[in-house]
Amino acid sequence: MANAQLMANAIRALAMDAVQLANSGHPGAPMGMADMAVALWGRHLRHNPADPHWANRDRFVLSNGHGSMLLYALLHLTGYALPIEEIKNFRQLHSKTAGHPEVGVTPGVETTTGPLGQGLANAVGMALAEKLLAAEFNREGHAIVDHHTYVFLGDGCLMEGISHEACALAGAWKLSKLIALYDDNGISIDGRVSPWYVDDVAQRFNAYQWNVIGPVDGHNSDIVAAAIAQAREETDRPTLIICKTHIGKGSPNRANTAKAHGEPLGSEEIALTRAALGWKHAPFEIPRRVYADWDARRAGAKAQSAWDKRFAAYAKAWPELAAEFSRRMAGELPKSFAQTAVDAVVQAHAEAQSVASRKASQITLEAFTAKIPELLGGSADLTGSNLTHTASTPQLRFDKSGAVARDAEGRTGRHINYGVREFGMAAIMNGIALHGGFIPYGGTFLTFSDYSRNALRMAALMKQRVVHVFTHDSIGLGEDGPTHQAVEHAASLRLIPGLDVWRPADTAETAVAWSVALSNASRPTALLLSRQNLPYLPKKAVGDISRGAYILAEPQDAGLKKAAQAVIIATGSEVSLALAAQKLLAEKRIAVRVVSMPSNTTFDRESLKYKKLVLPEGLPRIAVEMGVSEGWWKYGCAAVVGIDRFGESAPAKVLLPYFGFTAENVAATVQAALRRK
């Protein structure tokens, strides 16, 4: 490319000018990776700026998201709807150029990055989704799913432990269309990384069964482009290209220093850098010839048009498959979903089984996975405990050549053994959802949600439909003790904005929870499920369960013809305890309403009218949940039967009375609240 240096310098100029104007940001990484970007975006990346959601586009992830101006510059220069005014508005309120890239805000951004390592894990999920969709939908002569996933990453991404989890899985899954370019500049916020980062990265990735290229000169776009071309020829391994670069490339006094990392260069240094680069243009001024060299609109339109023709031929030969592919990539549930959901809830209500809610989840999943082919399950080495595997979801396996293996019935796998990698699983699930075509769900113990919490937060921030199956939800798991007994976790997860949290009490509530989770196209969901068996709760109807809380039993249901004097609110395994307490109180002529609240987060979005209907004003409210009391006081509770300490190692039947989870203690707590009224 004759103007490769000018193209790279345009990125450097935009990066240092935008950071300087904002007086905030990270100019060094974009300046250092500019030549790598020219090699990829200028020669290899297949995308269409006019249609950022084209199904068969290559995916690009900037895992070291603090270098966001690299991506914003690329999107602007190649022709996306990101005008120069947005570049000037970098890091300002409501701009499309936030401090770190945000999916759904900026056209062309594939995932929200910033927490280091997670973008890399997202890219692994995207590459897995591509591979599985290709195996499912492609037919001889019709390769409608055929694209690469590229990711830029830095030292920080590789230092984060999640990179080990995700990259080990990428090697195991033989994701040959995943190509990672490592910006090896040896500098982080604290300075040169050599005293604290001594990994032999090449050997590390060789051990993961990756194809490793380099180190190569990351400032020679021809060499980097050749390395990418070589990586694209790989058929059974992901590729890491190690690119040796200089952070802040072009800056006479800031290059190769930590000062280039996270602060503006300053007006004097920018002037010196312009001179050193031979860049004679004013801030935010890009010559027409540079715009012309970067413009990807014509090539993108041509690539998408060619794919459209291939897809039309595919649709003619395989009309049902084409319609199914289009539906799934659009994120639409099957037309049969509503009936499948109703049938699952009605069946649960009719059979009234007394099983653990983790088993109730599996029963529901059997129905849903049979009818919803995009459900892609998994577990972090706890399949037999999380019960995420169903008859319709064979285990995902790959043959020696790297192809997706098929079972005796010719089915590809739909259940993933993630190994003991909770954080990696959660972030990979985010990548799968972002790619499109699948609804991922994955299981582990609730207490281990701590490991994956930041990826849970990112799913909520990105508004992605992923479902987390968290079993062993309380001290009720017993002998494993406080290390495994979730106490603060339900309250903690409910604090994450946009994350729906469900703690169902029986099979019907579990079926409703799954139905709502799958219906929520822009919300992740956490299902908190019991290890121990739970009795089926007698209920007149199931229609209001989906509202997050509903009136389960009135005083009349306990044989007392009086208006309610108090309300007991309970979740999960404690709802049956609330019913037992209601009966004890009825014997003492104390009238109580029992409210089951399987999802606080859902109930909180209900109308004020419905909230007052379920929780009438003027009646003392007593919450019962085997977890910390924090979070229940917002409902105006007079008391909470909870556990504000860690648990103990003992059988559940010993622990429950020890911590006060008995009908007698709940009844006594209600009586005490009434006396204080």
Query: What is the set of active-site residues?
Result: 422
- CA 429 vs. chain centroid, Å, equals 6
d(CA 577, CA 571): 10
**Nearest-CA neighbor of 490 among 564, 569, 600, 640?**
600
Strand partners, 154: 183
d(CA 623, CA 91): 43
d(CA 308, CA 303): 9
| 220 CB-near residues (< 8 Å, 6+ apart) | 35
Please, what's the largest Cα pairwise distance for the chain? 90
Structural tokens at position 124: 């692994």
Strand partners, 212: 240
Q: What is the DSSP string of 103-168?
A: TTTSTT--S---STTHHHHHHHHHHHHHHHHHHHH-BTTB------EEEEEEHHHHHSTHHHHHHH
Q: Where are the alpha helices (DSSP H) in 233-318?
A: 259-262, 267-277, 288-294, 297-317
d(CA 4, CA 38): 7
| 260 CB-near residues (< 8 Å, 6+ apart) | 27, 28, 31, 187, 247, 248, 251, 254
What is the 3-class SS of 59-77, one letter each residue? EEEECCHHHHHHHHHHHHH
b/e map 653-676, b = 16+ CB within 10 Å: eebbeebbbbbebbbbbbbebbee
Cβ proximity of 616 and 590 under 8 Å: no
Structural tokens at position 567: 């309300």
